[in-house]
């Protein structure tokens, strides 16, 4: 005997295929599905644009920070 755990009183939900978009029962689920695919495409496009972009140039603040870190490590 099949039991509907944890809610034994619940009825089965039937979905009318005419109302389902791409076979998905709820428009919110379809929206999430489409947004997931769109975000993956956006990530691929972003990485393709920034693939061979060089590093940022070294600023004076970076050099001073590195020097102060070296001095702090020498003290330890």
φ and ψ at 23, to 5 degrees? 80, 5
What average pLDDT does range 13-33 have in this prediction? 70
pLDDT, mean over the chain: 79
- pLDDT over threshold 60, residue 72: yes
Report the alpha-carbon distance of residue 58 to residue 67 in Å, rounded: 13
Of 14, 15, 13, whose CA–CA distance to 23 is shortest? 15
Q: What is the pLDDT of residues 1-20, one digit of tens each?
A: 445 555 555 556 555 666 56
Local confidence band at 45 (pLDDT 50, 70, 90 cut-offs): very high
φ and ψ at 21, to 5 degrees? -90, 125
Instruction: State the pLDDT at residue 1.
Output: 44
Reading the block at residue 53, the tokens are 């972009």
What average pLDDT does range 14-38 have in this prediction? 76
Q: What is the dihedral of CA 21, 22, 26, 28, to 10 degrees?
A: -100
């Amino acid at each position: 005997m099949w039991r509907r755990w944890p809610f034994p009183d619940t009825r089965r939900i039937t979905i009318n295929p005419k109302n389902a978009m791409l076979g998905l029962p709820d428009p919110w689920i379809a929206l999430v599905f489409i947004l997931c695919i769109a975000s993956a495409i956006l990530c691929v496009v972003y990485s393709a644009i920034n693939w061979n972009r060089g590093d940022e140039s070294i600023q004076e603040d970076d050099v001073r920070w590195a020097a102060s870190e070296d001095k702090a490590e020498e003290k330890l």
